[in-house]
Amino acid sequence: MELLQPSSLDDLDGASNALLLAGGTEVVPLLREGLVRADVLVDINGLVPHGISGTTIGAAATLAELEVDPQVPEALREACRLAASPQLRNMGSIGGNLLQATRCWYWRLDFPCRLHGGDRCHAHDGEHREHAIFANDFCASAHPSDVAAALVALGATMRTTRRELAVRELYRLPTADDRRTTTLEPGEVILELDVPPPDASTYLKAMDRKRWAFPLVGVAAARRGAATTVALAGVAPIPWLLEGSLDEATPLPGTAYKVEIAAALVGRARAALA
Amino acid sequence: MARLIRTEKEVEGRREEVWLVVDEDALEQWPAGPRNVVGRPATRNDGLARARGQARYTADVHFPGMLHAAVLRSPHAHARVKRIDLAPALAAPGVRGAIGPGDAPELSAECEYQGAPVAAVCADSFAEARNALELVDVEWEVLEPLLDPEAAIARESLIESPRTRERGDFERALAEADVVVEATYRTQTVLHNSMETHQSVCRWEGDVLEVYTSTQYVWGVRQEIAQALDLPADKVRVVCEYMGGGFGSKNGAGEYTFVAAELARRTGHAVRCALTRREEHVAAGNRNATIQRYTIGARGDGTLTALGGEFVNSVGAGGWVAMTEGPLLMLYECPNVKATTYGAKLNLPPAKAFRAPGFVEGTFGLECALDELAAKLDLDPLELRRRNHADAEPGGDRPYSGKNLIECYRRAEPHWERRHEVRSRSTSSVKRGVGMASQVWFGGGGPPSYAWIRVGSDARATVVTAMQDVGTGTKTAMAMIAAEELGIPVEHVTVAVGDSLRGPYATLSAGSSTTPSIGPAVRAAAADAKRQIRDMAEQRYGENADKHSLAELLSVLGNAQILGSGSRGPNPTGMTVLTFGVQVAEVAVDVETGEVTVDRIAAIHDVGRVINPLGASSQVEGGIIQGVGHTLSEERLVDPESGRILTTTLDGYKMPTIADVPEIVSELIDIPDTQLTSLGAKGIGEPPIIPVAAAIANAIRDATGADVRLLPITREEMLRALAEARERSRGAAAAV
């Protein structure tokens, strides 16, 4: 495997079977597990904007920077603070965080599941306590990113090498025709995020231990005037904008408890912002 | 004079009669309380070496030209190798050797669990060996796995015949009981996850096989290899100087040792075989899951009259049936007891001993059931336990060598009293409570074990014994014991351990037995040396011998040395040697989200004389932290269809982090067991993990009224128990 450190994003064109590397906290384990393969690793740390300036966040900003920056809305700061471990937050970039693969053990162990192009979701009949309660019919995997839920609730937008879009539009539910969970095209790189300031926001998280665990349920809420937007982590194959009621959840037998937790945390988040 | 005796030996509840050669152990016990060295906190004599990275673990052993082995393991829970071709792997870059089923002990074509070792490859680098494994051409016959323990019992797929232990007339006593509690509890499969994975480096030096291995039993590995490879025992040298944890999972040689030995023989190079963290999660042993059904009968005043239990251990494809029934049989005075234990043979990785095997699981069930009884009778749980205290071994008159459980209860009172204040801090969403649980375990150690000591003209001593310090600090304890007996500073004692070529036999580090087994041998060796020094002093100074210091006396020796030797004597005949304790846990339960927070655990344990209070409190803390993981977050998950292990990484298998650790208050009774050896000391390695789960679960009941039924107490189990409790109180209200 080759490591490239190009001086411009333009140099990326034509690199075949390449993977982008920022913090490495996601890509390196996936490579090691054989879940992704690449001939070339492209270090993009010198190419993608760093730092935080007003409402603009460079895609290479680390979670550790974000969690302590007063310019950053509370929901995003808390989502960063409650994610992973300090070591991982020191390395992990916000751009990479948004592109995390699911922690579904069947997917991680390379079972021939639907997300891998197969014809069944093993979690449906198997162990699925960490799995989805929404949009889980085709694939019951849960999206692991606390940060993504916070950005969706905050109505954040992003700029890539090709377009501008709402963070929400980065994600798509996998279907029989297309198993991908993001809309990012090959060669497209996330550059910057813009997070419009809310009047108030918060992030609450339920996990299996006090620190360093992916969300069983994460609840991000942002209020602007009288309108509060709520998005959830760990409850669907993608970050989940809660547009209707939690009564519309379709939990598996082993994930019904997540609905109860989500109800409690959504109630608390709304109360905190009122 | 050496003496041949026949005596009873116990390891983790398994008793056997053995012949022993012992020296007379005529030493008087030291008076109770702190001495010059023993009984005072001492930092570890190898702490700096460990912290600085100077300590050489098996993972650090490296020889020129050393090769790295990787093991091909069954990806299926139940399968047979129909055909295997190693040739493509042997032709791969860097590969020096490959072996298949039958080429080394434990490599087999019959795979009874995922992770069962089949073949192995060694190469110049581990990456090359691992890549070559993928080239091994295997044709599998995949067989149906048996995964459900109840189905296994029904089909009589058992590790051994069911075991029933009975005293009195359980059925009659139950029929006559004033009150009966029936309860079923389940515990999960958990993994040891030692920091150092299972591993060995083997090399042949002429006809001697050198084995550098991470082990809890230097001498057991030596014997196992000598027998398996048909070598004279002293042609096998086993070395384990520093060890990164085992918790019961490293009592045997393991396939990695046999693989390294065979590949070293074939290639003429040293070979390392080390498990990866993922292999560690699959094929390195586990604490098996259990199902425990209790039927408890009592009188209205709380006196236990009938204790019944049916236990199912999901042992896996092999292993032994741990004493899940142990606490039921041993913890309380009760004349009528009946316990049956089944060991289900399943297509899952074999269980291995894990820090108080059986008793951790069984204490969770029994002590939760006892609190259910207390609730039913409206009795104080502490008072209920006092009323059922066993003054002698239950069901007989066999006395305890020493037991201070009542004193533990007395010392627990101030912690128990906090429950009123703790409860009062509850809010509408966060309920707080306090729970307790008692503990019984072995931990007396036993013979044989030996130690040598040499004292030089500089009045410094070196203790030599081929024991292993598995990370618990026993090496420091040995230095303290020798220093105390010789009357020299502990810094002047060096302890050489972990080499079967360079020291005498020392026992297995399991069953909390290292200090109580080897400590007396070390004291005897030091006393032997001291006797010789005293003789020398009398010859030189006559009646004025006492006026001369050790240093002065020894200074004339030059290169001459005083050599002492000592052995561990037998345990007291006709007596039961056990450890006891109680823990009091404080918890907060978020009743809307099911989050459980353990705020504080007070641990009061009776382990006889405490050699090193600092080392002992470290063991208490470590046991409690491991217990918190067992109680709240750790669980090995298995795909119910394929039998494949799903939690193979440290983010999927959730051990506690420092943020999960409660305030820990450690109190040791520190009364020497006057019947037990010249030290009166028992082991503290295992007792502290035993009551943790039950104390937490009972605190949860105190806080919320909810009965948790299984481990780990995840969000879903907590919310289920809370819903059940709400349902129950609604039903009770409707009935009124």
> In the predicted model, what is the mean pLDDT of chain B?
96
The answer, yes or no, to whether residue B24 has pLDDT greater than 60, is: no
Statement to judge: residues B440 and B450 lie in one domain: no
| Contact in structure between B656 and B632 (CB atoms under 8 Å) | yes
Is B130 part of the contact surface with chain A (CB cutoff 8 Å)? no
Phi and psi at residue B163, to the nearest 5°: -110, 120
How many Å apart are CA B183 and CA B178, to the nearest integer? Answer: 17
Question: Confidence class of residue A15 from pLDDT cuts 50, 70 and 90?
Answer: low
- First-to-last C-alpha distance (Å) of chain A: 53
| Contact in structure between B551 and B405 (CB atoms under 8 Å) | no
Q: Cis (ω within 30 of 0) for the bond into B394?
A: no
Give the 3-state secondary structure of B136-196.
CEEEEEECCCCCCHHHHHHCCCECCCCEEEEECCHHHHHHHCCEEEEEEEEECCECCCCCC
Tens digit of each residue's pLDDT (9 = 90 or more) over A144-191: 999 999 999 999 999 999 999 999 999 999 999 999 999 999 889 999
Same fold, A1-47 and A48-273: no
Statement to judge: residues B437 and B477 lie in one domain: no
Contact A257 B659 (CB under 8 A): no
Positive or negative, the CA dihedral A79, A81, A87, A89 is positive
Mean pLDDT, rounded, for B215-219: 98
Mean pLDDT, rounded, for B572-598: 97
The answer, yes or no, to whether residue B550 has pLDDT greater than 70, is: yes
Statement to judge: residues B102 and B243 lie in one domain: yes
Tens digit of each residue's pLDDT (9 = 90 or more) over B605-657: 999 999 999 999 999 999 999 999 999 999 999 999 999 999 999 999 999 99
| Contact in structure between B332 and B369 (CB atoms under 8 Å) | no
Q: Locate the chain A residue with the closest alpha carbon to B637.
A: A127
The answer, yes or no, to whether residue A140 has pLDDT greater than 60, is: yes
**Residue B318 lies inside a defined structural domain of this protein:** no
Residues sharing a CB contact under 8 Å with residue A70, sequence separation 6 or more, in sequence order: none
3-state DSSP call for residue A36?
Answer: coil
The answer, yes or no, to whether residue A98 has pLDDT greater than 70, is: yes
**Residue B272 lies inside a defined structural domain of this protein:** yes
For residue B541, the domain's CATH number is: 3.30.365.10
Chain A residues whose CB is inside 8 A of the B76 CB are none
Name the DSSP letter for residue B236.
Answer: E
B592: closest CA of chain A, how far (Å): 6
How many Å apart are CA B385 and CA B581, to the nearest integer? Answer: 12
Question: Measuring CA to CA, which residue among A187, A152, A155, A153 is closest to residue A171?
Answer: A152
**Residue B634 lies inside a defined structural domain of this protein:** yes
Against a cut of 0.80, is the pTM above it? yes
Do you know the residue count of chain B?
736
Q: What percent of chain B has pLDDT over 70?
A: 99
In a mutational test of the B interface, the residue from A25, A109, A124 whose CB has the highest number of chain B CBs within 10 Å is A109
**Residue B159 lies inside a defined structural domain of this protein:** no
Tens digit of each residue's pLDDT (9 = 90 or more) over B284-307: 999 999 999 999 999 999 999 999
Statement to judge: residues B53 and B109 lie in one domain: no
- First-to-last C-alpha distance (Å) of chain B: 77
CATH of A1-47, one of 2.90.10, 3.30.43, 3.40.50, 3.40.1440: 3.30.43
How many Å apart are CA A106 and CA B483, to the nearest integer? Answer: 56
B636: closest CA of chain A, how far (Å): 11
How many Å apart are CA B442 and CA B447, to the nearest integer? Answer: 14
Boundary of a domain, candidates B254, B283, B312 = B283
Mean pLDDT, rounded, for B22-27: 71
The answer, yes or no, to whether residue B22 has pLDDT greater than 90, is: no
**Residue B466 lies inside a defined structural domain of this protein:** yes
Boundary of a domain, candidates B283, B309, B331 = B283
Residues A217, A219, A222, CA angle at the centre, nearest 5°? 170
Type of residue at B117: P
CA atoms within 13 A on the CB side of B80: 4
Tens digit of each residue's pLDDT (9 = 90 or more) over A39-58: 999 999 999 999 999 999 99
A11 vs B280, more confident: B280
Q: Which residues of A touch B (CB under 8 A)?
A: 85, 103, 105-106, 108-109, 111, 122, 125-127, 129, 206, 208-214, 216, 254, 256-257, 260-261, 264-265, 268
Q: Locate the chain A residue with the closest alpha carbon to B641.
A: A126
Question: Confidence class of residue B549 from pLDDT cuts 50, 70 and 90?
Answer: confident
pLDDT for position B7: 80
Boundary of a domain, candidates B516, B533, B567 = B567
DSSP H or E stretch at residue B288? none
In B650-679, the residues whose Cβ lies within 8 Å of chain A are 651-652, 654, 656-660
From residue A125, alpha-carbon distances to A106, B173, B349 in Å are: 11, 45, 22
Statement to judge: residues B590 and B708 lie in one domain: yes
Question: Confidence class of residue B21 from pLDDT cuts 50, 70 and 90?
Answer: confident
| Contact in structure between B330 and B359 (CB atoms under 8 Å) | no
Tens digit of each residue's pLDDT (9 = 90 or more) over B144-162: 999 999 999 999 999 999 9
Q: Which domain holds residue B255?
A: 61-144+193-283
Statement to judge: residues B505 and B492 lie in one domain: yes
Encoded tokens for A127: 């162990």
Statement to judge: residues B615 and B643 lie in one domain: yes
Question: Confidence class of residue B205 from pLDDT cuts 50, 70 and 90?
Answer: very high
| Contact in structure between A189 and A44 (CB atoms under 8 Å) | yes
Statement to judge: residues B132 and B242 lie in one domain: yes
Statement to judge: residues B613 and B723 lie in one domain: yes
Question: Confidence class of residue B20 from pLDDT cuts 50, 70 and 90?
Answer: confident
Statement to judge: residues B423 and B279 lie in one domain: no
- Cβ count near B472 (within 10 Å): 25
| Domain A48-273 = CATH 3.40.50.300 | no
Mean pLDDT, rounded, for A108-113: 97
